[in-house]
Amino acid sequence: MHAFDILGDPVRRRILELLATGEHSSGDIVTVVQREFGITQSAVSQQLRILRDAGFASVRADGTRRIYAVEPARLREVDDWLDRFRAFWLPKLDALATEVARGKRKRRHQE
């Protein structure tokens, strides 16, 4: 499965967002994802398996718990692919940052 097929799913993206903050047990992930998406434990487990099989997440046993972590190598591949497109938006983001800074300076001087 192509990386963007994996990342295109909102449940899988949310799981990766959770894992980006550090390791999480499968139970913790299930709790959050069930609350936010209203899907079953088995559906969350299936999404975790897809992330694992595609190389975006890893799992290790900790007693009876399964602890998941993000796998940065696969995300670096996506970042490398996106790199060729950054030239389209970086100048606009730089210009936005300049305008935000100007607005902050202007507000400080008005106070």
Return the number of other C-beta atoms located less than 10 Å from residue 74's C-beta.
18
Q: What is the pTM of this model?
A: 0.76
Quick one: average pLDDT of 60-66?
96
Phi/psi at 45 (nearest 5 deg)? -60, -40
- Name the residue ranges covered by the structural domains of the chain: 3-71, 74-109
Residue 17: band (very low, low, confident or very high) from pLDDT cuts 50, 70, 90: very high
Distance, CA of 88 to CA of 12 (rounded, Å): 27
Say which CATH architecture domain 3-71 belongs to: Orthogonal Bundle (1.10)
* Structure confidence at residue 71 (pLDDT): 95
- State the Cα angle at 9 between 7 and 12, rounded to 5°: 75
Q: How does pLDDT run across 19-61, given as a tens digit for each residue?
A: 999 999 999 999 999 999 999 999 999 999 999 999 999 999 9
Contact 49, 26 (CB under 8 A): no
What is the residue-averaged pLDDT of the chain? 92
